[in-house]
Amino acid sequence: MCESRQRPTPAAGPTGQIRWTKTITLCKVWNMPAAPSLQPTLWRTCRVLANRTRLQIFGLLTRTPALSVSAVAEHLQLSLPVASQYLRALEARGLLIPRRVGRRVQYRLNVASAMEPARELTVALRLAFQRDPAPVETLFRLATSFTHPRRIEIFRALAVQARTLGQLQAVTRISVPALFRHLRKLEARGFVEGRRGLYAAANRQDVFGRTLARLVAD
């Protein structure tokens, strides 16, 4: 907000009155909070997806879009508070979008999300539910690969180039015992390959695994 004021000069006029000769502008600067980032944190999104019931909700909305909280609860035999909590968690990661219809709120897949990673994950998840005979278990295992930020850091380092354990420890500054633990999980999930002491990012062929690996490496 700005305000203009006149300021007197030191000299007075012939009648003894002070002459107003300057105009100054005073502005108040308000510190506005920065807009929140629309970029979701990938490991947090993976933690939301690493839940079989939330994946079942996503699959249900893949088959039957625009369901209310009560309809989701009824289909999956959940209480209304649990269904509402799980839907809000998926919405918070940009995977679902709510829409008010009368007194009810309906949820659908957010394939038009403004958040690029969320949109890509939503599309990949939908394809997995359409193609995989057991999508919930498959997606659960893949999502648990990156529920820890250190595993994302490790995979990013290996996506650049293959490294020995010592080289990986030097790049990530993660202790050797923790590196072993995280590498074992990434190997078990098919995202990392270890041969003769050299670790490398694996080449995923499935749509969700490939999308997830690319987003982690970016």
Q: Residues 80-132: pLDDT tens digits?
A: 999 999 999 999 999 999 998 888 899 999 988 656 788 899 999 999 999 99
Residue 32 scores a pLDDT above 70: no
What average pLDDT does the segment 42-48 reach?
95
Element (H, E) at 2: strand 2-12
Domains and CATH numbers, the chain: 42-141 (1.10.10.10), 148-217 (1.10.10.10)
What average pLDDT does the segment 189-213 reach?
95
Q: Please, what's the largest Cα pairwise distance for the chain?
A: 99
Residue 184: pLDDT band with limits 50, 70, 90: very high
What average pLDDT does the segment 208-213 reach?
96
Contact in structure between 111 and 124 (CB atoms under 8 Å) = no
d(C-alpha 188, C-alpha 100), whole Å: 42
Q: Which among 7-21, 98-112, 168-182 has the top mean pLDDT?
A: 168-182
Residue 46: pLDDT band with limits 50, 70, 90: very high
Residue 17 scores a pLDDT above 80: no
What average pLDDT does the segment 45-49 reach?
96
**pLDDT for residue 101:** 84
Name the token pair of 71: 């309809």
By residue count, the chain amounts to 218
Give the pTM: 0.79
Provide the residue type at 125 as one letter.
L
Residue 15 scores a pLDDT above 50: no
Give the percent of the chain with pLDDT over 70. Answer: 80
Choose between 4 and 97: higher pLDDT. Answer: 97
How many CA atoms lie within 13 Å of 129's alpha carbon, on the beta-carbon side? Answer: 18
**pLDDT for residue 134:** 95
Choose between 56 and 20: higher pLDDT. Answer: 56
Residue 56 scores a pLDDT above 70: yes
3-state helix, strand, coil in the chain (%, to 5): 50, 20, 30
Residue 136 CA, distance from chain mean position: 20
Residue 21 scores a pLDDT above 60: no
**pLDDT for residue 112:** 81
Residue 41: pLDDT band with limits 50, 70, 90: confident
Contact in structure between 114 and 38 (CB atoms under 8 Å) = yes
